[in-house]
Amino acid sequence: MHGDEHALFGAALAFLAAAVISVPIAKRLGFSPVVGYLLVGIAIGPVGFNVADPGVVSTVAELGVVMLLFLVGLELKPSNLLSMGHFIFGLGTAQLMLTSLAFALLAYFGLGFGVAAAVISGLALSISGTAIALQLLGERGDLASPYGQRTFSILLFQDIAVVPLLALVPLLAPGGEAEVTRDPKATLLAAAIAVAAIAVIVVSGRYLLNPLFRVLARSGAREAMTAAALLVVMGAAGLMEAAGLSAALGAFLAGLLLSESTFRHELEANVDAFRGLLLAVFFMSIGMSLNINVVLGHIPSLLVGTLAVAVVKSVIVYLVFRADNIAPQDSMRAAVALLSAGEFAFVLFPLGLDNGILKAEQADLLIALAALTMILGPLLFAALSRLLPRFARPVAEPPADDFADADGSVLVIGFGRFGQIVSQCLLAQDVSVTIIDKDVEMIQSAGRFGVHIYYGDGTRLDVLRAAGAETMEVICVCVDNKEDANRIVEIVRASIPNARLFVRSFDRVHSMELLRLGVDFELRETLESALSFGARTLEALGVTQTAAAARIADVRVRDRARLERQLEEGIFAGAEVFSGHKVEPEPLTQPEKPARPLNPEAQDILSHETEFSG
């Protein structure tokens, strides 16, 4: 290999090794992988092993952010995005304006910055790290939660705001106003190009991409589908960037337009692997870009500045979320998730320096400050995730409803998907039903469809008695939690022994537990649907409806007989037990043909099993 090839190969090995090492260590310590990536980036950066130029790495790694926004767009739908307009432009505007104003005032009065420098500093620090925030929320599975949706809306607004903010920099530069005044056509042309770029993405996503993917799918070449997915992401991002807009915003629009495509899951699978690796490199590049010399030379001021940014930004975001009726704990999580400065800071501060708005020392300090907030944010989020459950006050359970007007002959406990179908059958026959559930959102949702559900915890005897359990002809336990179902059965059997109990079962083992508890009837939640599915499949294969029904009835009878035998002799009743080997319950019908391996790995497994059976 030549020298350049050696350097490239060594850098690739260093990044891969850093990713492999940092994630397990960060997880072991209870931190987000983002923290590990940032810290290991410092180690392989200019102050450490110096494996590559941070600027070059950052340029490549920004593709991770682009792919992340594409995948976020795929998860949304245009209709969902429109419903988030209040959050995007309401919360987004409030957060950006309030935070920018606070930081600009601090820079002007506290640090002695000029007006232009203070405005640039305030805007850059008020924008949050999209990749960091989405990664943190995604790890907790909170993106779909109310506070997660609002957090994403703010991040999306910030990405949209990048365009006018970049245009603002020349205006704030010395003599910038005169330059813009002299050439208003340039401003109009830039706006026209931006609109045209968006139109090209919208039209392509609407009319061209689905036919393209359909042709590629027919070819059967998976590598072509992967290449097409990357082409869509890179093409949309490149087009928007060429038009002076945010590359990430272009990728988001492309994902949004493909969110209802039949190829959405294929695209997601193809892009996701690249996204994860490039995001890891992106976070490492942030650690690499930290100028340790500047940090060491200004430790006191940077520590105070980082703390001030953290406090001001978190407090403002917390208040904005609380004003939108988000719970205190979720508002705190959102505040810390949005604490980190964004990738935009590493663009805006050098741009301010080039336009004469910032001095070199100011730009270096602000870049170091932004990098420190990116390290501090994930650390605080991890600490907050640990501390909040410990200090959370137990939520007082609301009192059960007044059951004075409840007069049902059947009590249905649990109004999930299973309970809803059971209730529909009873109500259709004009059977008087009393339904209780402890999910407030479920109760409100059912009320919109004209079904009255009482709030109450079915695992409490006083609630059951208040609901009239002692006078009911049948009690249907339809909850989707095994422990809750067993507890209800135990309570009813102990205190209302004459009640007839019909219980939803989770699986075969749970059915055995319920039968031992003395229920009158139990049914596995998937049994009948699977039998119906099997019957229709037999019919599709040419079996007559009568023959299919007879076969399913036979399977049902033998399944019940096997369950009763297992109830007496144990779950492995009738199975041959080999010492030291895992034993599976025997099938209802032995296959007529032996298993045939489809690959070498399967051949090894079957050969291994044949040795024991012989």
The CATH number covering residue 98 comes to 1.20.1530.20
**Amino acid letter, residue 259:** S
Helix axes 92-105, 299-323, angle to 10 degrees: 150
Strand order in the sheet with 454-455: 454-455, 433-437, 410-413, 474-477, 501-505, 521-524
3-state secondary structure 383-432: HHHHHHHHHCCCCCCCCCCCCCCCCCCEEEECCCHHHHHHHHHHHHCCCC
Percent of the chain with pLDDT over 90: 11
In a domain, 353, yes or no: yes
Is the same domain home to 453 and 361? no
| Residue 72: per-residue pLDDT | 72
Residue 427 belongs to domain spanning:
410-575
**Amino acid letter, residue 452:** H
Q: Average pLDDT, stretch 158-184?
A: 66
Q: Would you say residue 581 has pLDDT above 60?
A: no
Write down the residue that tokens 């590049």 correspond to. Answer: 285
| Residue 566: per-residue pLDDT | 78
| Residue 55: per-residue pLDDT | 67
Q: Average pLDDT, stretch 378-398?
A: 70
Is the same domain home to 329 and 445? no
Q: How many CB atoms lie under 10 A from the CB of residue 463?
A: 21
- Is 59 or 241 the better-scoring residue by pLDDT? 241
In a domain, 589, yes or no: no
| Residue 600: per-residue pLDDT | 47
| Residue 390: per-residue pLDDT | 67
pLDDT band at 187 (very low <50, low <70, confident <90, very high): low
**Amino acid letter, residue 533:** F
Q: What backbone torsions phi and psi does residue 401 show, to the nearest 5 degrees?
A: -65, 165
In a domain, 31, yes or no: yes
In a domain, 598, yes or no: no
Side-chain half-sphere exposure of 66, counting CA atoms within 13 A: 27
Q: Average pLDDT, stretch 230-239?
A: 84
In a domain, 582, yes or no: no
| Residue 488: per-residue pLDDT | 92
Q: CA-to-CA distance for 345 and 128, rounded, in angstroms?
A: 9
| Residue 516: per-residue pLDDT | 87
Q: Average pLDDT, stretch 70-81?
A: 71
- Is 525 or 178 the better-scoring residue by pLDDT? 525
Is the same domain home to 370 and 499? no
Q: Of 179-193, 266-280, 389-403, where does the model show the most confidence?
A: 266-280
Q: CA-to-CA distance for 463 and 448, rounded, in angstroms?
A: 24
| Residue 42: per-residue pLDDT | 81
Q: Average pLDDT, stretch 340-345?
A: 80
pLDDT band at 349 (very low <50, low <70, confident <90, very high): confident
| Residue 335: per-residue pLDDT | 92
| 289: β partners | none
Q: Would you say residue 316 has pLDDT above 90?
A: yes
Q: Would you say residue 163 has pLDDT above 70?
A: no
Is the same domain home to 500 and 537? yes
Is the same domain home to 327 and 452? no
Q: How many CB atoms lie under 10 A from the CB of residue 515?
A: 16
Is the same domain home to 224 and 282? yes
Q: Would you say residue 345 has pLDDT above 90?
A: no
Q: What is the pLDDT of residues 16-61, one digit of tens each?
A: 888 788 878 877 776 667 778 878 888 887 777 777 777 667 767 7
Q: What is the pLDDT of residues 442-492, one digit of tens each?
A: 776 666 555 668 888 888 888 888 888 888 999 999 998 888 899 999 999
| Residue 584: per-residue pLDDT | 45
Q: What total of structural domains would you count in the chain?
A: 2
In a domain, 581, yes or no: no
pLDDT band at 126 (very low <50, low <70, confident <90, very high): very high
| Residue 388: per-residue pLDDT | 75
- DSSP code at position 614: -
pLDDT band at 398 (very low <50, low <70, confident <90, very high): low
Q: Average pLDDT, stretch 606-614?
A: 45
- CA quadruple 401, 403, 406, 410: dihedral sign: positive
Q: How many CB atoms lie under 10 A from the CB of residue 545?
A: 11
Is the same domain home to 422 and 377? no
Q: CA-to-CA distance for 119 and 97, rounded, in angstroms?
A: 11
In a domain, 383, yes or no: yes
Cβ(128)–Cβ(152) below 8 Å:
no
Phi-psi region of 356 (alpha: psi -120 to 50; beta: other; left: phi over 0): left
pLDDT band at 590 (very low <50, low <70, confident <90, very high): low
Q: What is the pLDDT of residues 219-228, one digit of tens each?
A: 767 778 778 8
| Residue 579: per-residue pLDDT | 37
Q: Would you say residue 572 has pLDDT above 80?
A: no
Q: Would you say residue 178 has pLDDT above 50?
A: no
| Residue 6: per-residue pLDDT | 61
Is the same domain home to 361 and 502? no
Q: Average pLDDT, stretch 384-389?
A: 78
Cβ(412)–Cβ(433) below 8 Å:
yes
Write down the residue that tokens 């909850």 correspond to. Answer: 479
Domain holding 421: CATH number?
3.40.50.720
Q: Average pLDDT, stretch 73-99?
A: 79
Q: Of 195-209, 249-263, 535-549, where does the model show the most confidence?
A: 535-549
| Residue 168: per-residue pLDDT | 78
In a domain, 20, yes or no: yes
Is the same domain home to 418 and 288? no
Is the same domain home to 130 and 241? yes
- Is 410 or 22 the better-scoring residue by pLDDT? 410
Helix or strand (DSSP H, E) at 478: none
| Residue 588: per-residue pLDDT | 54
Q: Would you say residue 279 has pLDDT above 90?
A: no
Is the same domain home to 20 and 147? yes
Q: What is the pLDDT of residues 550-569, one digit of tens each?
A: 998 888 888 888 888 877 77
Is the same domain home to 426 and 365? no
Cβ(508)–Cβ(563) below 8 Å:
yes
Q: CA-to-CA distance for 331 and 88, rounded, in angstroms?
A: 16
